[in-house]
Amino acid sequence: MEKDGINSFGAYLELITNRNPVVHQITNFVTANDCANAVLAMGGRTVMADYIEEIEEITGAADSLVLNLGVPSEERLQSLLLAGKAANKKRIPVVFDPVGCGASSFRRNAAKELLHEVEVSVIRGNSSEIQCLFDKYNRMRGIDAETEFDSICTVRKFAEKTHAVVVVTGERDIVTDGDKMYMIENGCKEMSLLTGTGCICSALTGLFLGADTKAVYSAVCAAACVGIAGELSWKRYGECGLGHFHMGLFDMLGNMRKYLVADTGTTERRKLDKKVELAIKGGCTMVQLREKNGNMKEFYHDAAALRRITDTYGIPLIINDRLDLMLAIDAPGIHVGQNDIPASIVRRLIGAEKIMGVSAHNVEEALQAERDGADYIGVGAVFSTNTKKNTKNVTIKMLQEIVKAVSIPVVAIGGINCSNVKYLHETGISGIAVVSAILGAVQAYSAAKKMKKLVISTLNVNNKYSSN
């Protein structure tokens, strides 16, 4: 996927993180919650409004519009039409999902009226729905696909006729704008046991379109996301039952937004050194290396390599948790948590010259860390993060209380990115620690530079603990 500098799936994920697009969804009540959660998991925002008195205003403030035929009525059709026309007026991209359009003549006529009155960027449906719109198949006993295409040319012709990108989801997803055509074979057969996976795909298509208006590439990314999430969720949760499989979809969608703390599980090892160096050039002033479950021999070599890079640029390398490794490579510092070796013991072993950071989640822990000789306090997770599971968030209020209670620098940790760093304004912290916002970005240098600028302007800090 390459056009105008957007050439990878990762690049689209970075756009979503940076732009945090708002998706206005008029969707059906069966899947509304799932569609909203899918957009949120991937880093977007969503609003769902179909009241005719407010629909134009809300649509006009969104970055994209998803029109889901859902459970239709005359009133609902009017809302869909009004929202679609409002989006067209402001050149906001529109996704149309003709749910069950072959189930009744009312649905068929409603879908065709909408396509006639509203210019849509993407049409997403199963094989029966798309063929119904193209007058190839007119009978459905529900909303699920009952037929397969007699020819892929049918999809291409429909795209040409409607001047829209057409997405047919099923065992094999087809995406075409009439010129380019993509086949996506991610997913698993068990996804057919869940209601609403197609609607989720439509919602995510709206999300990607809200970040970047190149419809065919956005549609490919959305279809791939849902398929991959389905595969991974079934692999992890399938044995537990359909309920776990269902909820696992959102876990996996959220995990796709991968994570400067240098976590060797976040990026491929062969790319770690390069990404960290680019991050340093972009403005990172301290690097922490973390490894929870990997091979310790590999961890040692990673640490030694990063020590050479950080020494070159004159910034400290902090080893997370592993006192033995910190001593083995003579790293400038160590960061320990509440469940690690007591900070007072660590300080005695490393001496007074080395840097020691200590994690704290409340004022009592922070004060004890200061008494034990900590040089800074790491407080988090301040936002939800995928790099640490089962971690309870620390409130902004608690963060402020910790800052007031101690005399040493406080660094906020956990789930921080360019979109939410603003909420740390006036907390009094000395810096932030990030993973995904930089290492998960396609361009680590640009991501670090942007984050550094935000940290300085938003938090009014510029010291060795900032953009950690």
Catalytic residue ranges: 290, 359, 388
**Residue 160: phi, psi to the nearest 5?**
-65, -40
* Inter-helix orientation angle 269-282/296-313, to 10°: 20
Closest CA to 42 of 163, 181, 222: 222
Cα(134)–Cα(351) distance, integer angstroms: 75
Cα(305)–Cα(314) distance, integer angstroms: 14
Closest CA to 34 of 237, 231, 230: 230
In the 8-state DSSP scheme, what is residue 393? P
Find the length of the chain: 468
Closest CA to 44 of 6, 70, 13: 13
Element (H, E) at 436: helix 436-439
Radius of gyration, alpha carbons of the chain: 25
Cα(296)–Cα(300) distance, integer angstroms: 6
Q: Tokens 């950690």, residue?
A: 468
What tokens does 31 get?
């899947």
Whether 256 contacts 229, CB under 8 Å: yes
- Biggest alpha carbon–alpha carbon distance for the chain: 80
Whether 170 contacts 145, CB under 8 Å: yes
What tokens does 29 get?
């009540």
- For strands 173-176 and 165-168, give the pairing: antiparallel
Cα(377)–Cα(412) distance, integer angstroms: 9
Sign of CA dihedral 320, 321, 326, 331: positive
CA 15 to chain centre: 10
**How many angstroms separate the first and last alpha carbons of the chain?**
33
